[in-house]
């Protein structure tokens, strides 16, 4: 009887460890997917934001967060996007298509 109880305890402990390992693997998988946002890879440029001077130039409040989506040849921002939440940030602006009909004409 004692031997049977020990086998039951062993089986319960083994089953508990297997469940714990599976839960740990699931949590690690979910957190790694969350950290690897779609469209963001190691070679893509980091998002760029307007500087305080650029915000002044565009008459924006200094507390506003704005992402630069395009610059002209001299480096002046030509297109920017106001950011309300981190979900609004475009991971790789080089992958977005033309923004206005004028850009369609100049891209040809």
Summarised one tens digit per residue, pLDDT across range 2-21 is 566 667 888 889 999 999 99
The pTM of this model reads 0.50
**SS3 (DSSP) at 51:** coil
* Neighbouring residues of 68: CB distance < 8 A, sequence distance ≥ 6: 48, 49, 50, 54, 77, 79, 80, 93
Query: pLDDT by residue (tens digit) across 55-108?
Result: 999 999 999 999 998 888 898 898 888 999 888 888 877 777 666 656 545 544
pLDDT digits (tens, 9 = 90+) for 31-62: 776 655 555 555 667 888 999 999 999 999 99
* Integer Cα distance of 66 and 57 in angstroms: 13
Residue 17 pLDDT: 94
Are 49 and 65 in contact by the 8 Å Cβ rule? The answer is yes
């Amino acid at each position: 009887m004692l031997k049977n109880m020990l086998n039951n305890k062993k089986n319960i402990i083994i089953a508990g460890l297997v469940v714990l390992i599976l839960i740990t693997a699931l949590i690690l998988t979910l957190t790694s997917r969350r950290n690897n946002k779609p469209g963001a890879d190691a070679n893509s440029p980091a998002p760029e934001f307007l500087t305080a001077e650029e915000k002044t130039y565009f008459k924006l409040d200094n507390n506003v967060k704005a992402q630069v989506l395009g610059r002209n040849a001299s480096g002046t921002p030509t297109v920017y996007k106001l950011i309300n939440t981190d979900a609004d940030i475009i991971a790789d602006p080089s992958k977005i298509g033309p923004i206005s009909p004028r850009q369609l004409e100049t891209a040809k």
